[in-house]
Structure 1
Amino acid sequence: MSQSHPLSEDQVAGELRKMTAFIRQEALEKAREIQLKADEEFAIEKSKLVRQETAAIDTLYEKKHKQAAMAQQITRSTLSNRTRLRVLGGRQELLDDLFQKAREKVTSVAGSDKKKYQATLQGLILEGLYALNEDKVAFRARKKDYDTAKKAAAEAVKEFKKNVGYEPTVTLDESEPLPEGSAGGVVIVGGQGKIEINNTFEERLRLLEIDALPAVREALFGKNQNRRFYD
């Protein structure tokens, strides 16, 4: 059986140095591992935060872009509506002025040319006779037109008889004359007073405005005049 010899102080010191160096080396390696792990986790967390912030910035930018686009659209729509209203208002003023001049022209017809006015009344009365097609018909006129209207009625009866084959009785209803401020024309009454055909100049012009307005607009402003304001 061999006998062990005690280590000298130098040997003990050397062993301690080796153990210390080994422990230090192990600690350094462990520290490097911890550092690498920490750097990796930091990089992952940093990348995650960057992605989150980037997504948040993109979302905010998209929201602001939509808001700006919406504001621009509203502004454009508002300006377009204002422009459209100004243009339509100007057109309506032009049309109103046009029809007002037509009213003034119509009003002057009755007093400027008696023969022409009588022929016009004849046509208006004849139109009423055709529409009613009755044996007895009455008509109303302005007091100052009574003589002219009676002559016009007589000629209308002749033409009606010639075209239809019988002669209706047409009388002037003096109980309810048309207003003196009226532009002229007549109101034909039939159906035992229950049917009235308004052939005054004001009424015919009003109907003309309604019927002719699209054609007048097209003549003045062209086709599809309002389409560009709504597209």
Structure 2
Amino acid sequence: MSQAHALSDDQVAGELKKMTAFIRQEALEKANEIRLKADEEFAIEKSKLVRQETAAIDSSYEKKFKQASMSQQITRSTVANKSRLRILSARQELLDKLFEEASTKLKDVAKDKGKYQGVLKNLILEGAYALNESKLQVKARKIDYDIVKKAIDEAQSEYKSKVSKEVSISIDESDPLPQDSAGGVIVVGTGGKIDINNTFEERLRLLETDALPSIRVTLFGENQNRKFHD
């Protein structure tokens, strides 16, 4: 009976072969499964690393781009400011030269006696209208006293015709203007407490301030308040 069920060597070898094939197949399938899982994890990790590196590169590029842009802006601003300062300096030099030349020509006005007398009359009248007093004095250069007296006579006459009242104007010979003055007068009222400086030097100084916007427009074609654009 036992002999009937006994396996021959060939049958045992066959069974072993089947078991070996089965184990090998399971091992191959397991190995394949492990390889697939490993490949999947590798792909995920690779993708993650690629994304991280890409993000790092993008961040570095963005930072460098911002730095380059900032550097470019600073350079452009610096160049623009230097250009602006050079332009402003050149314009100021031109204005200074203009007023300097005007100052040197002030004394030429007094050389034309007829014209100078008319100018003095108007300067005296301007002071008289502003002070609106019955008695005034004027300060002038000693060399101008004769022509100032004529201008005073004209001013008094015109003042009376314009405002219908008298004004007495005299020269304050105790305190003449400096001989190196370009000319003009100082009109004094209220017993010497108030004066209106109508000397040529003072009028030019006021012109530098009050007429400067108009001069800028004439010379440079722009308003004083206009901002310089880069």
Q: Name the TM tier (shorter chain).
A: over 0.9
Letter paired with 2:45? E
Q: Cα deviation per residue 1:162-197 (whole Å; 9 max; x = unaligned)?
A: 211121121211222212221111111112222111
Per the normalisation by structure 2, the TM-score is 0.92
Same amino acid, percent of matched pairs: 68
Aligned-partner SS, 2:176? coil
Letter paired with 1:132? L
Match of 1:114 in 2: 113
- Stretch deviating more after TM superposition (170-179 or 128-137): 170-179
Letter paired with 1:73? Q
Deviation at 1:225, TM superposition (A): 8.6
Per the normalisation by structure 1, the TM-score is 0.92
Match of 1:42 in 2: 42
- d(CA) in 1 for partners of 2:50, 2:108: 86
Aligned-partner SS, 2:186? strand
Match of 2:20 in 1: 20
Preserved CA contact (<8 Å) 2:124 2:152: yes
1:1-231 maps to which residues of 2 (within 5 A)?
Answer: 5-110=5-110, 112-223=111-222, 229-230=228-229
Aligned residues: 229
The verdict on how the C-alpha distance between 1:226 and 1:42 changes in structure 2, with shifts beyond 3 A counting, is: farther
The verdict on how the C-alpha distance between 1:189 and 1:84 changes in structure 2, with shifts beyond 3 A counting, is: same
The verdict on how the C-alpha distance between 1:73 and 1:199 changes in structure 2, with shifts beyond 3 A counting, is: same
The verdict on how the C-alpha distance between 1:59 and 1:144 changes in structure 2, with shifts beyond 3 A counting, is: same
Letter paired with 2:18? K
- Stretch deviating more after TM superposition (37-46 or 177-186): 177-186
